[in-house]
Amino acid sequence: MNCVDARQLFSPWLDGELDEASAVALRLHLEGCGECSRELALWEDMSQALRQARPDVVAPSGFAEGVMARLRDEAAAGEPRKAKVRFAGFRRWREFLAVAAAAAVLVFGWWAVKPDVPHRPGEVAHETEKPPAEVKTADSSGSDGSGSVQQSGNASEPSVKPGSSALGPENGAASQEGQTAVVNPGQTSAPVKPSGTTTQARVFLNKERKITSTLVRLSVADLGTAQSQAENIASRFGIKPELVAQQSAGSEKWIVYRMLVDPAQAEALEDAVMGLGKVVDYQEETRDVTQEFARTLEQYRGLVAQLAATEDASQKRELEAKIEDLEEQLVSWDNASSHRVIVLWLQ
């Protein structure tokens, strides 16, 4: 599914009219597409805002009967066109109000979530706290009013204040909390633990990220047997398949798995699962999420900075929830970009 197909499903998704198979396909696309995810979130916000802004109007007693009687009278008098024009104008006015409300939600919603932090394109590295300078003054007995300043970290006698951080000469690792961890190429560091009330963003490498996803849809003779065989195949590759969706009731039964596999083993895994049944659909897509990752990371770091400066408890909880969602998305992109994503659909 591409972005054009996904956006065509937004409206039936919000109205609850999307069939389960299409809903699963849309969720799989949204998982790897930040642009569509953000656009659908805006659609949901606008839909909720319009529903809340719409007043609950109760028609007076006899209103429907009166309208129908008037329509019958106008039809008998040869005035149907006039009534049609009047109602069409009313619909156009309602459409105008809906568009205006949606525009207001977009404008104010954008300003509400826009992080107020500086950013330079392509930069995702964290600033590290430098050890403070140590100031030494002369003895009071021989003081002439002047003092000498010695920078900590001097080669002859390094000085580290309590609570500051320094890098060891051999392993180069951070020795104190609050120092950004050194990340080896190709690895993602563990979350940096906050010190006290200070919250620090998780460290991610600044690199190109492309996600290659493959959908393999199979028609099998027995769904239960194929399900067990698929799980056994995944275990041979050291993979624990993620159950995305399942339908076990009704005439149409199916199950969808998502697997992350090393790129070097992806072709072998595909060949193995294709032997479970007849291939009815096969799609492969590669998406570059580098820019989306950078924008999401910028927003994530901005929210972390806001959280560190916020004292209000309710606002802290709201920010923590947003930070958790963004971090989950960043981790998902980071993992998927270093693996191949295989979506196995058995029916």
Q: In terms of pLDDT, which residue wins out, 334 or 176?
A: 334
> Position of tokens 């799989």?
28
Number of domains in the chain: 2
Residues facing residue 342 across a β-bridge: 214, 259
Query: For the chain, what percent of residues have pLDDT higher than 90?
Result: 32
CB 344 within 8 Å of CB 256: yes
Closest CA relative to residue 103, chosen from 52, 55, 45 = 45
Q: In terms of pLDDT, which residue wins out, 226 or 164?
A: 226
E strands, 39-175, are 134-137, 147-150
Collapse the DSSP code of 174 into the 3-class scheme (helix H, G, I; strand E, B; otherwise coil) and give the result. strand
CA distances from 280 to 27, 215, 264, 267, 295 (A): 20, 11, 25, 18, 37
What does the pLDDT average to over 117-134?
A: 44
Q: What is the pLDDT of residues 100-117, one digit of tens each?
A: 455 444 444 443 444 444
Per-residue pLDDT at 39? 78
Per-residue pLDDT at 212? 92
What does the pLDDT average to over 67-94?
A: 61
pLDDT at 181 over 50: no
CB 317 within 8 Å of CB 336: no
Helix, strand, coil in percent for the chain, rounding step 5: 45, 15, 40
Boundaries of domain holding 281: 202-347
Is the residue at 95 inside a domain?
A: no
Is the residue at 170 inside a domain?
A: no
Q: In terms of pLDDT, which residue wins out, 338 or 179?
A: 338
Per-residue pLDDT at 199? 58
Closest CA relative to residue 34, chosen from 341, 258, 286, 330 = 330
pLDDT at 98 over 60: no
What does the pLDDT average to over 287-291?
A: 90
**Predicted TM-score of the model (pTM):** 0.48
CB 22 within 8 Å of CB 8: no
The DSSP bridge pattern shows strands 242-247 and 254-261 to be antiparallel
Instruction: Identify the weakest region by mean pLDDT among 112-121, 253-262, 271-280.
Output: 112-121
pLDDT at 122 over 60: no
Contacts of 44 (CB under 8 A, 6+ apart): 14
**Cα distance between residue 191 and residue 114, in whole Å:** 24
pLDDT at 71 over 80: yes
What does the pLDDT average to over 321-341?
A: 91
Is the residue at 180 inside a domain?
A: no
Average pLDDT, the chain: 71
What does the pLDDT average to over 181-200?
A: 42
Closest CA relative to residue 310, chosen from 223, 199, 183, 219 = 199
Is the residue at 39 inside a domain?
A: yes
Burial of 261 (0-12, 13-18, 19+ CB in 10 A): buried
Is the residue at 8 inside a domain?
A: yes
Both structure tokens of 282: 């096969």
pLDDT at 257 over 70: yes
Task: Determine the angle formed by the axes of helices 34-53 and 290-309, rounding to 10 degrees.
Answer: 50
Cβ neighbour number for residue 324 with a 10 Å cutoff: 10
Closest CA relative to residue 205, chosen from 221, 236, 181 = 181
Per-residue pLDDT at 41? 76
Instruction: Identify the weakest region by mean pLDDT among 53-62, 200-209, 311-320, 328-337.
Output: 53-62
Both structure tokens of 150: 């010695």
What does the pLDDT average to over 249-266?
A: 89
Closest CA relative to residue 127, chosen from 196, 176, 190, 178 = 178
Is the residue at 303 inside a domain?
A: yes
Q: In terms of pLDDT, which residue wins out, 126 or 75?
A: 75
Would you say how long the chain is, in residues?
347
What does the pLDDT average to over 247-266?
A: 88
pLDDT at 118 over 50: no
Is the residue at 337 inside a domain?
A: yes
Q: Which of 11, 35, 53 is the last residue of a domain?
A: 53
What does the pLDDT average to over 119-123?
A: 43
CA distances from 162 to 45, 56, 108, 131 (A): 48, 63, 46, 10
Identity at 150, one-letter amino acid code: Q
When pLDDT is cut at 50, 70 and 90, the band that residue 195 belongs to is: very low
Is the residue at 38 inside a domain?
A: yes
